[in-house]
Amino acid sequence: MTELLLPLAALPFPDIDPVLISIGPLAIHWYGLGYVVGILFAWWYSRRLASTPRLWAHHTPAMTPEHLDDFVVWAAVGVVAGGRIGYILFYDFARYIANPLDMLAIWEGGMSFHGGLLGVILAMILFARRRQINTWSLFDVVAAGVPVGLGLVRVTNFVNSELWGRPADVPWAFVFPNGGPEPRHPSQLYEASLEGIVLFLVLVWLVWGLKKLKTPGFIGGAFICGYGLSRIIVEFFRVPDPQLGYLLGGWLTMGMVLSLPMVLAGIWAMATAKQPAAR
């Protein structure tokens, strides 16, 4: 009976090569391109915010576009180094200790958003102190554009047929090439929608509608809280990493454990954000 239902219940998985361009030994993957485009968009968008005085308290931006030009390299290093180290520590420590050289094989995948976030936060703290910029304001302008990159990377996870969801009988389920015969939730697309489109639109409303850049820390807090909530929701539809499995009762995952403190920290940041006094 199940075999008869499969053709009706599942959508055909799109035949998209994970490698965009291959020139000799050099290969450009959609996954890597998603990171590059996401970083470039966040850089462009943050420059635009820093160039719009009416969005800021007392019409005085906390930084210049040139500051953000310098920071983009710091951000890229923080994302890549933090994301890789975070994945190694949080998700597959035993494997990488046994095979240390695999730690450098980023092209094979294996990046943690939570690790990347910690890497960027560290980069922002160091950069802000060096350039005498309000750290919370730097966090705000960077966070405002990050959801676009998150959405793109999640779409490339779908293209790569990785991080797929739990078995499902919904009309939009897919049979993933490496996910067994049963239709599954396209959890990567759920994440792309929540962490990418929805979260970005919420932040656009907070930045341009409610002018929340005037209260340093609010946009950054909204981003952290929004991502944490989105990730926790999607974890109910997503299969956890096989080397970890479920941590409790067949439902709790590492993604949930790492995201809950983000929700609490984001709420705290929004609740304590306040407009700086005029200079």
Binding residues: 154
Neighbours of 5 (CB within 10 A): 12
Of 173, 176, 171, 194, the residue nearest 185 (C-alpha): 173
Task: Give the whole-angstrom CA distance, residue 131 versus residue 137.
Answer: 13
For the chain, the residue count is 279
Angle at 158 between CA 156 and CA 162, to 5 degrees: 105
Q: Take residue 7 and report the two structure tokens written for it.
A: 């053709």
DSSP string covering 56-101: SGGG--SS-HHHHHHHHHHHHHHHHHHHHHHHHHHT-HHHHHHSGG
Task: Give the whole-angstrom CA distance, residue 40 versus residue 56.
Answer: 23
**Contact predicate 138/127, CB 8 Å:** yes
Backbone angles phi, psi at 256, to 5 degrees: -65, -45
Which helix (H) or strand (E) covers residue 271, if one does? helix 254-272
Q: Take residue 260 and report the two structure tokens written for it.
A: 């809950």
